[in-house]
Amino acid sequence: MIAELQCVVLDCPEPARLAAFYAALLGGTVDRPDPRWAVDGDWSTVHTPGGQVLAFQRVRDHRPPAWPDPARPQQFHLDLGVPDLDRAEREVLALGARLLDAGPGDQGWRVYADPAGHPFCLVRH
């Protein structure tokens, strides 16, 4: 095992509003304090009763998916917790991932694409 699933992140125009929708649908707590991330106007979370976490990330000029139109595909990514970013990076690259964004300095997360091009983040925990 290289990583632990922390949350599924959905792109959206209004994070708090979408978090409230999913909390009403699934139950759970909106924006519960969690040391893994900070919530603000651009990021909101729902901790569900089953332990899963959904996160909602503001995307300016968001264009919603148009199922099943491939020109406007589904929009989400996985955040995967790892104890050692450098080691996890070597392992996911060996599996066929590619680095998309290492970010400035040591921000504690990096963005990759899986072999089919889906983005995911490795996040130090």
**How high is the pLDDT of residue 76?**
87
**pTM for this structure?**
0.82
Parse the chain into domains and list their residue ranges.
Answer: 4-65+75-124
The answer to whether 4 touches 125, Cβ cutoff 8 Å, is: yes
Residue 116 scores a pLDDT above 90: no
Residue 105 scores a pLDDT above 80: no
What value does the mean pLDDT of the chain take?
A: 93
Surface-to-core class of residue 86, CB atoms within 10 Å of its CB (0-12 exposed, 13-18 middle, 19+ buried)? exposed
The 10 Å Cβ neighbour count of residue 118 is 14
For 32-85, write each residue's pLDDT tens digit.
Answer: 999 999 999 999 999 999 999 999 999 999 988 888 888 988 888 999 999 999
Amino acid at 46: V
The answer to whether 111 touches 79, Cβ cutoff 8 Å, is: no
Query: What's the average model confidence in pLDDT over 102-116?
Result: 87
Residue 118 scores a pLDDT above 90: no
Higher pLDDT, 74 or 119: 119
Amino acid at 72: R
Architecture of domain 4-65+75-124: Roll (3.10)
Residue 7 scores a pLDDT above 90: yes
